[in-house]
Structure 1
């Protein structure tokens, strides 16, 4: 950590800081207030009548102009210029916003369903430090006659999985898929995240199958109250750790790239932070699920799925529950991904028009 701190301060002068462009939360609030104030105003069919600066630069410092989109038309009321706005003279941003400012909010709203889908994935990811460890504590940790590996240390296989999958994805998988799809990145970012969600389902299935096999040995050898390790190697957990690592490469990295790419220019820091909040909320959801499952399954004197003695419980049912939740989450993700509209920048549209004109010429 000391070396890391030295490198951090050594590199600080080399970093290019972008000047703050004002609070994005303030701009969001302005669009909402202006929309509510003009809830009776009719949005014109001709979008060129909506308020936007006539020069090339956007009114938002550090942001390019954004093209108008047809989703969430109620918010367009915020950039309809009324007679009152014209007579006042100075533009009040709490009454009249630019198209770019409205499109900023639309971009955030479009990202929220995808953000919510990442919470379930983070819940699966959180099992590595919770249920996987509890499961591993009952398995044989011996490597040879004298060495034992702690159950919590098995998460190293998640790290190794990431180390293997990142170069495999960049050097082998992307060039291969690029030949098929013709896209520079191979997969779209939405496809990449979807693949990770599918892999997370198989990670829970692998954990559930291992738990079924573990309980079978306990039942066969009558080891319900045994305090010793059952005759099953802890390394049978490696596949589920490896699958979680693979899912992490596809979903977590893809999500961070997607949120940064689709965020408005002046909101990239906020959207990057927003994508990372799925991890914390996933951990909270994991704790909530354990509490709910314990309260429901342990009624009327029953031990429940997750008792103190896992040999008398059904941890496999909890893994099946997470697998089902992940599957439903993936189905909802497919619907959201199909509905999603990528942001359009004014500069990009001008470049496209120039390219089309050049090709026609």
Structure 2
């Protein structure tokens, strides 16, 4: 028997149970184990009962995250005295960092700790960051006039970026750990897994709704110390809840570093095919890594893993490369949604925020984004998917790429509306004689709602796309790559804001986004983002046409 046959034997033995009826099997068929590292029993572990604890911890994390991000631009301008452009840039950079650190969490989860222990460790870091941020907000109150503004700023940023690090181990792992609770070989559980991504995002937006209403109101009317203390206590409760569910979770075994395996592929050679992934013909130049090279060393010597790789390593790298054009298309989408935490808030501060007897904080308009998501998810999951399933015959109804395309189109519509609204607001503001805000802040609601609907299609879609398309040993990394698109979108937004400020303030001009927006042209910035969105949508459509779905991995046509 040659080396190739020897490599396939464990695979055949491992897959023999799959020939049985998985729906009646006592154990899961996807290799998951329980807390004692024994094969997971289907009736005692996993499914929605395990997701209750996981989604509870995610809900607490989201309340804390949105308690910061929803109103951070107000905190920076009103308390730390930053300018509009600097505050908007800082918000986008912080959000970008919060979605970049998931690469760290995913690497640790897939390589060393597993998803459960990674979440537990980073939840602790998150709680520490929220505690420091709360203490920094209380610093002026505790020290009175003797407090140092530079120390206040230092502690505030320390708390912010500890929280950004903490969220990095939670975002990629909670989503993947929740999906792990459903056995893909069981038809009933497989369909429930598809619903999990929708309800995962639903729980995120319940946390966002609580932050955008109650917490933001407390921050603006009671104080920032109390406004940060509430989510800090909730984070502690989420940590306790997450640990309480450890006995019913299903755990994936740690399979080694996916980044190392992928990076070893291009220069290496291999003596056999491990057959854990099917060979594909795309990116043929990488196949040289799976061609046996003439031996030049001593017989029996162990080759370096950087000179020896398996076919699976090559195919894992190909998988990442195939997904890259889709990932690039999502960057502009998240740059558009980043406006809800920055320029939309600044725009709202120039509008009439009196609604009947109530005074609405500008950050609370993001409630319409949340409401839109919470309304659209059940409609999508319970109405649109069954209708589309009957029409297309696909289990998901819409394909993943179709879902993403709808989200990108909606983001363009949101930017167009924001540009038209700002142009109208500027026209009325410059014509007003009494100096009062001429437009109600409620005119912003449709912009938030349209972008919220776009998130139902694109944000949930990209999570599901990267989880499904990633090999088994790269699920956390795949989810982190989806989160990285959010980071790249926010970093891109920061770069665009900085470039716009630099170009439009030459020769003493006020620029598009001055501190007094009535003297600027924020509408030009929104039009610019809309044009970029159209170009991005055309790029995505081009990639979609070339993307070929199959029962195995989706690949580009040659």
The TM-score bracket by the shorter chain reads 0.7 to 0.9
Quote the Cα distance in structure 2 between the aligned partners of 1:253 and 1:90.
48
Q: Does 1:217 align with 2:422?
A: no
Quote the Cα distance in structure 2 between the aligned partners of 1:89 and 1:342.
42
Q: Does 1:237 align with 2:444?
A: yes
Q: Does 1:51 align with 2:272?
A: yes
CA-CA distance at 1:95 after TM superposition:
2.6
CA-CA distance at 1:111 after TM superposition:
1.1
CA-CA distance at 1:112 after TM superposition:
1.5
Q: Which residue of 2 aligns with 1:271?
A: 478
Contact (CA 8 Å) 2:407, 2:455: kept in 1 or not? yes
Q: Which residue of 2 aligns with 1:22?
A: 256
Distance 1:3 1:79, change over 3 A: same
Distance 1:67 1:189, change over 3 A: same
Q: Which residue of 1 aligns with 2:406?
A: 195
Q: Does 1:136 align with 2:348?
A: yes
RMSD of Structure 2 on Structure 1 (CA): 2.2
Contact (CA 8 Å) 1:262, 1:342: kept in 2 or not? no
What secondary structure does 1:271 align onto? helix
Quote the Cα distance in structure 2 between the aligned partners of 1:51 and 1:199.
48
Distance 1:222 1:85, change over 3 A: farther
What secondary structure does 2:512 align onto? coil
Contact (CA 8 Å) 1:260, 1:268: kept in 2 or not? yes
Tell me the TM-score normalized by structure 2: 0.55
What secondary structure does 1:260 align onto? helix
Q: Does 1:121 align with 2:328?
A: no
Per-residue CA deviations over 1:271-292 (Å, capped at 9, x if unaligned) read 1111101112211111111110
What secondary structure does 1:81 align onto? coil
CA-CA distance at 1:34 after TM superposition:
1.2
What secondary structure does 1:308 align onto? coil
Distance 1:341 1:180, change over 3 A: closer
Equivalent positions of 1:77-226 (< 5 A) are 77-84=288-295, 88-89=299-300, 92=303, 93-144=305-356, 146-222=357-433, 226=435
Distance 1:294 1:222, change over 3 A: farther
1:289 to 473, 496, 499: 496
Give the stretch that moved more between structures: 23-32 or 241-250. 23-32
2:265 to 21, 31, 34: 31
CA-CA distance at 1:99 after TM superposition:
1.9
Distance 1:88 1:206, change over 3 A: farther
Q: Which residue of 1 aligns with 2:104?
A: none
Contact (CA 8 Å) 2:255, 2:473: kept in 1 or not? yes
Q: Please, which runs of 5 or more residues in structure 1 have no aligned partner?
A: 39-49, 59-64, 349-361
CA-CA distance at 1:345 after TM superposition:
4.5
2:465 to 245, 258, 262: 258
Contact (CA 8 Å) 1:107, 1:343: kept in 2 or not? no
CA-CA distance at 1:3 after TM superposition:
3.1
Q: Does 1:335 align with 2:542?
A: yes
Contact (CA 8 Å) 1:66, 1:103: kept in 2 or not? yes
2:455 to 242, 248, 257: 248
- Structure showing greater Rg: 1
Per-residue CA deviations over 1:230-271 (Å, capped at 9, x if unaligned) read 121110000000011101110010000000000011111111
1:7 to 232, 236, 241: 241
Quote the Cα distance in structure 2 between the aligned partners of 1:152 and 1:213.
21
What secondary structure does 2:476 align onto? helix
Contact (CA 8 Å) 1:31, 1:75: kept in 2 or not? yes
Alignment size in residue pairs: 319
Contact (CA 8 Å) 1:72, 1:106: kept in 2 or not? yes
CA-CA distance at 1:51 after TM superposition:
3.3
CA-CA distance at 1:222 after TM superposition:
4.9
